[in-house]
Structure 1
């Protein structure tokens, strides 16, 4: 029915009827949803038998999810000078983060992190702690994930220390 086609194409049923009657979109080329892999012939036959049924998009027709690769990401030259500021912010506000986590989050090296921490960085007098998300060096989701991992690691370490203290010493 026109309603089934309209629902599948996300158009209004009157638009489908006008296209079918040739009143609008005369130059529009038809598209075979079976040949394009959007649906199957069995799905069309099922909907022809039941006018209340709705056509379903084939799972193969859905686009592949884009996953960001885990390798190093490119940082524009203009933003590279902001990395020490972001490192200083993370060191001051989130001491539970490991150097490796900061390195992965900001895209920098461990020696740079150590230099900012020890104030031996070549630009140390000009470093002003600034939030890495505001600088565009990482996303809020990436920062939150790193903080959750760091806090979970800290909890495990604290529980391990408490467990060691409660055990009696044997001579």
Structure 2
């Protein structure tokens, strides 16, 4: 497991210099600074304008640990074992859409409603990251921009992938008890493979018919 890193070391050093009797060596070791740099902070020559950060308020250091090291200059501060919040991982749900493409969502909803009525509002919402209110408004033609909506494929708009769309359709059809095979995309003619035909036999002719005998 990686060693936890001190947050804002210089601001922490400023606070420790101003509020404790710890030595420059102790503060430097805890904040990963050279003792002379800590002395410069104390003399007002370094970290000018930096506001001190109390390490006890963010759980990186305890008051008991400070008091322990103040009593013995040979001791070194130990960071408290605190679980620093990690960035939240994105759960399943509406995907993030760039601002430049958000205005295309109603068009995508109109396309999905028209060509894939088996999709539920919840599926459409997850697929392109829009709200159920927007979907309902497009369905009911009460959307504020209804006169200007142009049904457009969300895959071509970059709002979802073809794989995600296919999976959503398959799930919807399975839930409805319909055949799971996917129809061709609207506007695209399906490719029909014609059965292979046996090669025609070359016609045979009598070359002598073109060259009458001289006899």
Question: How high is the TM-score relative to the length of structure 1?
Answer: 0.50
Which of these two proteins has the greater Rg computed from alpha carbons?
A: 2
Q: Which structure's residues are more often helix, by fraction?
A: 1
In the superposition, the TM-score normalised over structure 2's length comes to 0.40
